[in-house]
Chain A
Amino acid sequence: MIYPDSKIVLEVRGLCATVNGTEILKGLDLTVRRGEVHAIMGPNGSGKSTFSKILAGHSAYEVTGGSVMFEGQNLFDLAPEERARAGVFLAFQYPIEIPGVINSQFLRLTYNTVQTHRGKEELDPLEFDDYVREKMKLLEMSPDFLERSVNEGFSGGEKKRNEILQMAMLDPRLAILDETDSGLDIDALRIVANGVNQLANKDNAIVLVTHYQRLLNYIVPDYVHVMEAGRIIKTGGKELALELESRGYDWVGVEHKAVAGAVA
């Protein structure tokens, strides 16, 4: 929801980045304020996941220009784990499997690490078990997933739920959900979206990366952005997503070029 005079959570200015020498982001601008839900749409390969991972601090990407302020602080001054502790959360498009590491132990370590850094109490294994089971109910997840290795052998949809479970536990300031809807069946989509809606409040912000309107039927965005070739080329309200759904992306690019041409 848009609140008047709400504080800026994320301010991206002219962000440029390369991977293995190839330029992927080419001057990206985005401002996200507390309480808002932003959707980023755009064709495959336009740089949406790259942008998400850069915010989270993935070392494969090199930032070559521009700035990112998070809660008034230079995001690039923080190591990836510090960003997470400060409240940047990324739900991965492809969550990583960690064979041999038990999910419940992993979840407890991440929860306690983040809590400690926020000056809050850690939970012992028993307390944590109660806590996490409660959160799992919200996502209609079976407690069986606690005893398995992290994401190992999870179905696509199960992995996504495990991501949102972590979002629920870690209570982020800025949650970036990279195609969390892909791989979810119809019921799961509703359940996960409900979960996300319950977590949204006036103090945090959510950035949804998605290809489909159906997620946005449940999580209604305040802004919809279109990304193409490493830039945000159009921003609108929730109606823009509907228009994209019916007309595709091509017209946006054409319109953008025309405008750019007129300015030049």
Chain B
Amino acid sequence: MSATLQNLVNQPYKHGFVTSIESDVAPKGLNADTIRMISTKKKEPEWLLEFRLKSYEAWLKMEEPIWPNVHYPKIDFQAISYYSAPKQKPKLKSMDEVDPELLRTFEKLGVPLHERMALAGVAVDVIFDSVSVATTYKDKLAEVGIIFCSMSEAVLDHPELVQKYLGTVIPPSDNFYAALNSAVFTDGSFCYIPKGVQCPMDLSTYFRINTEESGQFERTLIVAEEGASVSYLEGCTAPAFSSNQLHAAVVELVALDNADIKYSTVQNWYAGDEKGVGGIYNFVTKRGLAKGVNSRISWTQVETGSAITWKYPSCVLLGDNSVGEFYSVAVTNHYQQADTGTKMIHIGKNTRSTIVSKGISAGHSNNSYRGLVKVAPGATGARNYSQCDSMLVGQNSGAHTFPYIQVANNSSQIEHEASTSKIGEDQLFYFAQRGIDAEAAVSMIINGFCKDVFQQLPMEFAVEATALLSFKLEGSVG
């Protein structure tokens, strides 16, 4: 470490508290020094520190968004600690030490045994050699020139790529939480698919992060060069716990000419208890830039967790003939609140977008779809098809749809369909009369309702997602 750097980090913090470089957790609160500390800790290049500081400046001038249809107490951003060294999940020696409730959940979800152990935090080397799995995986990708690593590693090993694309799809000033993330993000994933390469497997964060608690401010960047394609999976169906209540991730995708990025998410963060106590606030900014001609960005999400979700995976269709897709299932139960949807921004000619959104609300929950379809003057021949269906389970839940359509040329074609349905007692009685219990019936109805989205998921994910949904809605009908 250089002398200046050393000085810098050992300097007492201006606002009256002192942190030593050995400390693994930053004191609560956010100021320019906290950001310098994060950057120093991570041995980041100067340009990234500047990026962070500029983001911080922008953030200071911004207001928390109040337009989403969700309600929660005001967040005290000075009460959050913005850095802690990557934590290992506590290692358990055997399955006997695992919380039986968690095991029951895995059982229900049909998570394979070895994965259950890994997810529950049982030392994975007991079951399989995780290092060797990860290595085979890495070798295979390296052979074709794909870079898939943590954001921290990418910043150090491929700074020129990160610098070229970071913040180009979601500028720090985009919104309050994107600005905050840009200032303080600690880690995330980086993925680069070189020209003409079809990624030989679905890329999953699962192997990469299963021993670490995932960060509070994750930052993900995926770049597909000309003619490249990749399918990326985020999250898993197993319940994810976190010691942080606020999660504000940013995901940026860039697809160049003829490139194709498919991004699938299963989100099952802790949702709070049946009375609505606790649970994660999940305020996420995800956007894909279909930069090149004929490029394609496809989002598929299954949102089941978090107390509050605020998330609009979007596509900016810049290249001519580019395609944007959004397939979403959002389930809320108990007192969960979700305000989710997408934005399709048509800029290039003959750009096409598809939106299929399925919202399921049970218990006392509130589920809103919010979507924007915007067609710029130059986007001649643009087409959009949107379908937004809501399903209500029980008497006390709410479903809302807020579609916004802005069209600035008359050669485009926009179609919007919407429906609301309900799982009725008579439907369940009909199933029961044919020997099928309520749980299996709900699962079948929900599956039917969601099938247009599920069929977009990679096979394994789809099966797990099905089980997850039934599990989430268990006991909410009848």
Residue positions of A touching B, CB distance < 8 A: 56-60, 79-81, 84-85, 89-90, 92, 95-96, 98-102, 105-106, 109-110, 113-114, 117, 149, 166, 170
| Residues of B close to A100: CB separation below 8 A | 445, 448-449, 451
Per the bound structure, the CA–CA distance linking A14 and B177 in Å amounts to 68
| Residues of B close to A102: CB separation below 8 A | 448
Chain A residue with minimal CB distance to B424?
A96
Chain A residue with minimal CB distance to B438?
A81
Known: A98-B427, A99-B421, A109-B440. A81 touches B445 (CB 8 A): no
Q: Is B430 an interface residue (CB 8 A)?
A: yes
Chain A residue with minimal CB distance to B419?
A99
| Residues of A close to B424: CB separation below 8 A | 96
Contact B448 A90 (CB under 8 A): no
Contact B430 A81 (CB under 8 A): no
Which residue from B431, B432, B448 sits with its C-beta under 8 Å from A149? Answer: B448
Which residue from B426, B427, B435, B449 sits with its C-beta under 8 Å from A113? Answer: B435
Contact A95 B436 (CB under 8 A): no
Q: Is B437 an interface residue (CB 8 A)?
A: yes
**B:421-462 near A, CB below 8 Å:** 421, 424-427, 429-437, 440, 444-445, 447-449, 451
Closest 9 CB pairs of A and B: A100-B448, A80-B432, A110-B434, A96-B430, A84-B435, A101-B448, A114-B435, A81-B432, A113-B435
Contact A110 B432 (CB under 8 A): no
Per the bound structure, the CA–CA distance linking A59 and B449 in Å amounts to 25
Contact A99 B448 (CB under 8 A): yes
Chain B residue with minimal CB distance to A115?
B435
Known: A84-B435, A98-B445, A100-B445. A113 touches B430 (CB 8 A): no
Chain A residue with minimal CB distance to B444?
A101
Contact B425 A59 (CB under 8 A): yes
Per the bound structure, the CA–CA distance linking A75 and B207 in Å amounts to 53
User: What 9 new A-B contacts, CB under 8 Å, besides A96-B426, A98-B427, A98-B430?
Assistant: A81-B431, A81-B432, A81-B433, A81-B437, A96-B427, A99-B448, A110-B431, A113-B434, A117-B435
Contact A57 B448 (CB under 8 A): no
Contact B429 A59 (CB under 8 A): yes
Contact A92 B449 (CB under 8 A): no
Per the bound structure, the CA–CA distance linking A58 and B445 in Å amounts to 19
| Residues of A close to B449: CB separation below 8 A | 100
**B:66-115 near A, CB below 8 Å:** none
A-B residue pairs in contact (CB < 8 Å), sample of 9? A79-B437, A80-B429, A80-B432, A81-B436, A84-B433, A90-B433, A95-B430, A106-B444, A170-B435
Per the bound structure, the CA–CA distance linking A212 and B243 in Å amounts to 69
Name the residue in A57, A101, A113, A149 with the highest tally of chain B Cβ atoms < 10 Å from its Cβ: A101
Which residue from A56, A106, A109 sits with its C-beta under 8 Å from B433? Answer: A56
Nearest CB on A from B358, distance (A): 10
* Chain B interface, >50% SS class: helix
Contact B434 A170 (CB under 8 A): yes
Nearest CB on B from A61, distance (A): 11
Nearest CB on B from A94, distance (A): 9
Contact B436 A110 (CB under 8 A): yes
Which residue from A58, A109, A149 sits with its C-beta under 8 Å from B429? Answer: A58
| Residues of A close to B433: CB separation below 8 A | 56-57, 80-81, 84, 89-90, 92
Per the bound structure, the CA–CA distance linking A106 and B434 in Å amounts to 9
Nearest CB on B from A113, distance (A): 4
Per the bound structure, the CA–CA distance linking A48 and B421 in Å amounts to 30
Per the bound structure, the CA–CA distance linking A113 and B444 in Å amounts to 13
Nearest CB on B from A150, distance (A): 8
| Residues of B close to A56: CB separation below 8 A | 429, 432-433
Nearest CB on B from A158, distance (A): 16
Chain B residue with minimal CB distance to A110?
B434
Which residue from A85, A89, A92, A105 sits with its C-beta under 8 Å from B430? Answer: A92
Per the bound structure, the CA–CA distance linking A90 and B426 in Å amounts to 13
Per the bound structure, the CA–CA distance linking A98 and B443 in Å amounts to 13
Name the residue in B430, B444, B445 with the highest tally of chain A Cβ atoms < 10 Å from its Cβ: B430
| Residues of A close to B427: CB separation below 8 A | 96, 98
Chain A residue with minimal CB distance to B437?
A81
| Residues of A close to B431: CB separation below 8 A | 81, 98, 110
| Residues of B close to A95: CB separation below 8 A | 430
Per the bound structure, the CA–CA distance linking A100 and B329 in Å amounts to 15
Contact B445 A166 (CB under 8 A): no
| Residues of B close to A98: CB separation below 8 A | 427, 430-431, 445, 448
Contact A109 B432 (CB under 8 A): no
Per the bound structure, the CA–CA distance linking A149 and B437 in Å amounts to 19
Nearest CB on A from B466, distance (A): 12
Nearest CB on A from B77, distance (A): 43
Per the bound structure, the CA–CA distance linking A117 and B434 in Å amounts to 12
Known: A80-B432, A166-B434. A109 touches B444 (CB 8 A): yes
Nearest CB on A from B478, distance (A): 8
Nearest CB on A from B111, distance (A): 23
Known: A109-B436, A113-B440. A101 touches B445 (CB 8 A): yes
Chain A residue with minimal CB distance to B443?
A109
Chain B residue with minimal CB distance to A101?
B448
Per the bound structure, the CA–CA distance linking A105 and B466 in Å amounts to 15
Chain B residue with minimal CB distance to A97?
B427
| Residues of A close to B444: CB separation below 8 A | 101, 105-106, 109
Nearest CB on B from A18, distance (A): 17
Chain B residue with minimal CB distance to A87?
B435
| Residues of A close to B425: CB separation below 8 A | 59-60
Nearest CB on A from B372, distance (A): 27
Nearest CB on B from A175, distance (A): 12
Nearest CB on A from B435, distance (A): 4
Chain B residue with minimal CB distance to A80?
B432
